[in-house]
Structure 1
Amino acid sequence: MSYKCSRCKRDVTLDEYGGVRCPYCGHRVLLKERSRDIKEIDVE
């Protein structure tokens, strides 16, 4: 999973045992990056 730190804005990849913390600045709030794919829904 790809995340972005809300403080330093760097890309962060979490490993299973590292916990939820930015390895660059130590901040604990990470934002999950959303895909840029556009999904179309057919509504009838």
Structure 2
Amino acid sequence: MSYKCSRCKRDVQIDEYGGVRCPYCGHRVLLKERSRDVKEVDAN
């Protein structure tokens, strides 16, 4: 999965067994990247 570190702002790839920690700065708060796709919903 693709995440971004909230401290150093680098892209981080983590696996589910390696733990949740930025490999660059060691920070433990990672933000999940959102897709840029626009979703349209019919509002009837």
TM bin, normalised by shorter chain, reads over 0.9
The TM-score normalised by the length of structure 2 is 0.93
RMSD between superposed Cα atoms in Å: 0.7
Moved over 4 A (4+): none
C-alpha deviation, 1:14, in angstroms: 0.3
Structure 1 residue runs of 5 or longer lacking an equivalent are none
Q: Count how many residue pairs are aligned between Structure 1 and Structure 2.
A: 44
User: Deviation digits for residues 3-29 of structure 1, max 9, x if unmatched?
Assistant: 000000000000232100000000000
For 1:8 and 1:37, locate their aligned partners in 2 and report how far apart those are by CA, in whole Å.
Answer: 26
Aligned to 2:13: 13
